[in-house]
């Protein structure tokens, strides 16, 4: 494929409640790119395992479930969804039980391999803004548009409370950072964005400015060649 015609991927990684989802949606909308929430994909698998009474502590059982479940990627109103048996469990994947199960299924190496392949397949929908915890390090390490979001723990906890969600963020950060398969870490070449005290509009506008700057630089480089 001609590099000039390849879809652009804006990778937004970061800690829990660092504003990844909100800012990724805002950036995708502003750029008219497709939004991909990879965390929702892991949550969908966690929900599926709970529904099927699969022990999420059993890595082999989780890996087997990931191999055999029937899924489909679709794009609805500019956002990618992972359907299971034709159904998207939009509300079900946001329960405390699923939040507790997600780190357990996400640490399974075969799950991460399956997710990486599925997430890279989202390129069929065009230019992407993809948010998660290993986009710039594992899913699309080749992209030049990498951002890593973070904020003080106390502020992130307040954001979760405001959303009506109870979650031990410190524990989740530790689990994500210490897992053997594709751990949470700052991608090589990523721009670090500490958005403590910022509104989503301020953060997204800053990211957009950086994306536009990089796009202009890319255009200039290609013009010279």
Domains of the chain, first to last: 3-224 (3.40.50.300)
Mean pLDDT of 106-123: 96
Over residues 168-219, the pLDDT tens digits come to 888 887 877 877 777 778 899 999 999 888 999 999 999 999 999 998 988 8
pTM over 0.95: no
Over residues 2-53, the pLDDT tens digits come to 345 689 999 999 988 888 999 999 999 999 999 999 999 999 999 999 999 9
Cα-Cα-Cα-Cα torsion 51, 56, 61, 62, nearest 10 degrees, comes to 80
């Amino acid at each position: 494929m001609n590099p000039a015609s390849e879809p652009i991927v804006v990778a937004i990684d970061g800690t829990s409640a660092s504003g990844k989802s909100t800012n990724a949606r805002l950036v995708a909308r502003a750029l008219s790119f497709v939004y991909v929430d990879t965390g929702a994909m892991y949550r969908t698998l966690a929900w599926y395992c709970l529904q099927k009474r699969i022990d999420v502590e059993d890595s082999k059982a989780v890996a087997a479930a990931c191999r055999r479940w029937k899924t489909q990627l679709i794009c609805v109103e500019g956002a990618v969804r992972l359907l299971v048996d034709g159904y998207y469990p939009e509300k079900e994947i946001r329960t405390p039980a699923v939040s507790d199960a997600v780190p357990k299924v996400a640490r399974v190496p075969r799950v991460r391999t399956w997710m990486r392949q599925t997430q890279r397949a989202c390129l069929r929908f065009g230019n992407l803004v993809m948010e998660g915890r290993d986009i710039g390090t594992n899913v699309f390490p080749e992209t030049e548009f990498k951002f890593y979001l973070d904020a003080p723990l106390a502020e992130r906890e307040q954001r979760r409370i405001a959303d009506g969600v109870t979650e031990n963020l410190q524990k989740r950060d530790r689990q994500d950072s210490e897992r053997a398969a594709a751990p949470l870490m700052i991608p090589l070449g990523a721009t670090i964005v500490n958005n403590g005290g910022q509104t989503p509009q301020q953060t997204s506008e800053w990211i957009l400015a950086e994306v536009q700057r990089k796009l202009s630089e890319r255009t200039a480089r290609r013009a010279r060649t």
